[in-house]
Amino acid sequence: MEFNVRRLLLGLTVTAGIVAGPSAWAAETAVKVGSWSLTVESLDKELVGKYYDLDRKRYMLRMRLLQQKLADHLLDLEAKAKGMTSDQFLKSEMEKRIRKITDEEVETFLKANRGEAPPSGDPAQEKSYVRQQMEEEAQDEAFTQFMGELVKKHKVEVLLQAPTPPRVAVNGPMEPSRGNVKAPVTIVEFSDFQCPYCKKGQQLLQDLAKKYSPDQVRVVFRHYPVPGHDQAAEAAEASMCAHEQGRFWEYHDALFAQQEALGAKLYGEIAGKLKLDADKFNACMAGNKQVPRISGDFEEGSRLGVTGTPTFFINGLMVMGAKPLAEFQALIDQELKK
């Protein structure tokens, strides 16, 4: 298949080379077959989300490198002022700043988060693992705080600009939804029931619901089951089978609440607790009735540039990830003013 695709591309390249010249069609036309053609503009409209994703990745790479070089420069300035090497200076500062992890903290963490340590069956190994993780977090925390002090001291100005999210048209069904269909702000969420970040994103949406009325903000749920999440697609189907009976949001909330137990048994249990018509629900699941809908949502998300979950579109403006509440509020307020 790879060989055939390359032959096809080679054929298109050669053909383009033959016809290109002064008599070729307008430069903005990308391809033409008889009276049918595609312009570069039409292609770009469908790729705008992917372009933004590429721009965002480039920005993040630049920012990461900027931060590394800035940290090196600031440490070098401080070290030279004290007649030390950068490594000596950093070591001396970190020794004063890194918080010591106590045995009591490790024990408390283990009791509250048993699933965080690998199930080795060896208590000493589990304690060692947790201690190492907590010490690394303490180091990161101390370093971040120290660099923040240096940034403030040297009055650093970061002028690198993040890419502006494009405003795109989200196609396809605008349901299930919460809020007034005529609300001036619509948030379309592409989500995955097996994604832990999507679960955290639900708290964000709940906080927004406390700040804005249903007449101001409407929330639309779309499915983007991430490949590799073995239960994501089936959980999405189950939620839409519940939607057929008008109980999507209750089912949605129950799936996220019991995310660690996703599976056929749970889907039936939730349907029972919600008193859904069991025959209709089971027939919907057995017949894969909602597969086209889930696939359609995934394809639309991919077209828009969604590469991970959750991804939100606030009146078409892409926000990737469950960002801080203030960031969502700023965009929503901006849209409400319009």
pLDDT per position as a tens digit, 174-192 = 999 999 999 999 999 999 9
pLDDT in tens, 290-300: 999 999 999 99
pLDDT of residue 167: 87
316: phi then psi, degrees, rounded to nearest 5: 90, -5
Q: What is the pLDDT of residue 322?
A: 85
**Bridge partners for 84 per DSSP:** none
Higher pLDDT, 11 or 281: 281
Say whether 181 sits in a helix, a strand or coil.
coil
- What is the pLDDT at residue 120? 56
**pLDDT tier, 5 (very low <50, low <70, confident <90, very high otherwise):** very low
For the segment 68-115, what is each residue's pLDDT rounded down to a tens digit? Answer: 999 999 999 999 999 999 999 999 999 999 999 999 999 888 887 765
Residues ≥6 apart with Cβ < 8 Å to 74: 147, 150, 151, 154, 156
118: tokens are 């690998």
Q: Between these two residues, 99 and 3, which has the higher pLDDT value?
A: 99
Whole-angstrom Cα distance, residue 186 to residue 189? 10
CA 24 to chain centre: 43
Q: Following DSSP, what letter does each residue of 243-262 receive, concatenated?
A: HTTT-HHHHHHHHHHTGGG-
* Cα–Cα distance measured from residue 172 to residue 301, given in angstroms and rounded to the nearest whole number: 10
Asked if residue 2 has pLDDT above 60, the reply is no
Contact 219, 301 (CB under 8 A): no
**Predicted TM-score of the model (pTM):** 0.66
What tokens were used for 116? 């965080």
